[in-house]
C-alpha cells in the first residue's frame, strides 16, 4: 500500500489537494474535519478535545482500517504530526502554547508511531498567513518551525515541501510524486 499524507497550516488547501489526487489516481481518501471545527462549548479546544481528535486520526490510519477495500493508494488530508505541531505552536489554543498539552501530545505521538501507518510520502503545502489572527501572532512562522523540527527527526518517509500559492505547480509536483512512488 502506498500512503500519501498531505499536511500544512490551516487554509493551505490540504483537503482540496487530497480530493483531487484521489479523483485522479483512485484509491482511498481519508478526510477529517479540522480541529477548529470541533470546539468545546466555551469556544476553545481543551487538551481532552485535542487528544480525542488525535486518537480518532490514529484509528483512521491503523492498517486494518486503511486496508479496507483493498486499495493500493491511500491519501489523507492530514498527517498525524499536525496535532503535535499545532500543540507546540499554540495555534489551537486561545492564549498561545501550552507546555502541558505539548508534552501530553508528544507522548501520544510517540505511542502512535507503532499503531498508525506511516506515509510513504508527506506533501507539505505551505501558505502565507491569511487571517489577521495568524498575522498578529505569527502563528504560521511558529507552525513552520515546529513542523520542520519534527520532520528533521526522521522516521516518516520523504517530504515534498510545496508553495500552496501556485496551484498549478502544486498539482504538477504532487502528481509527479505520486507517479514516482507507485
d(CA 123, CA 134): 22
Structural domains of the chain, count: 1
* pLDDT number for residue 78: 92
DSSP lists the bridge partners of residue 4 as 75, 121
Assign residue 58 the CATH number of its domain: 3.40.50.300
pLDDT of residue 35: 56
Measured CA to CA, the distance from residue 170 to residue 162 in angstroms comes to 6
Distance, first Cα to last Cα, the chain: 9
Q: What is the pLDDT of residue 94?
A: 44
C-alpha span between 100 and 85 (Å, rounded): 14
Map residue 14 onto helix, strand or coil. helix
Query: What separation in angstroms does the CA of 99 have from each of 81, 95, 150, 157?
Result: 17, 12, 16, 28
pLDDT in tens, the chain (182 residues): 889 999 987 778 899 999 999 999 998 999 987 655 444 455 455 677 778 888 889 999 998 887 777 678 999 999 988 877 877 666 444 455 566 767 777 888 888 888 888 899 999 998 776 655 555 545 567 778 888 888 888 777 799 999 888 899 999 999 999 999 87
Q: Which domain holds residue 55?
A: 2-181
Beta bridge partners of 6: 123
For residue 81, the model assigns a pLDDT of 85
Amino acid at each position: 500500500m502506498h500512503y500519501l499524507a498531505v499536511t500544512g497550516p490551516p487554509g493551505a488547501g490540504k483537503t482540496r489537494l487530497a480530493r483531487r489526487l484521489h479523483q485522479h489516481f483512485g484509491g482511498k481518501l481519508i478526510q477529517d474535519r479540522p480541529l477548529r471545527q470541533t470546539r468545546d462549548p466555551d469556544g476553545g479546544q481543551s487538551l481532552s478535545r485535542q487528544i480525542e481528535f488525535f486518537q480518532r486520526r490514529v484509528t483512521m490510519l491503523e492498517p486494518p482500517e486503511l486496508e479496507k477495500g483493498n486499495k493500493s493508494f491511500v491519501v489523507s488530508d492530514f498527517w498525524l504530526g499536525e496535532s503535535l505541531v499545532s500543540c507546540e505552536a499554540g495555534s489551537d489554543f486561545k492564549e498561545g502554547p501550552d507546555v502541558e498539552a505539548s508534552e501530553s501530545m508528544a507522548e501520544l505521538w510517540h505511542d502512535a508511531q507503532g499503531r498508525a501507518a506511516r506515509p510513504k510520502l508527506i506533501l507539505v503545502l505551505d501558505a502565507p498567513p491569511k487571517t489577521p489572527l495568524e498575522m498578529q501572532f505569527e502563528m504560521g512562522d511558529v507552525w513552520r518551525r515546529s513542523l520542520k523540527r519534527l520532520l528533521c527527526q526522521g522516521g516518516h518517509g520523504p517530504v515534498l515541501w510545496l508553495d500552496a500559492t501556485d496551484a498549478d505547480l502544486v498539482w504538477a509536483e504532487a502528481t509527479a510524486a505520486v507517479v514516482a512512488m507507485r
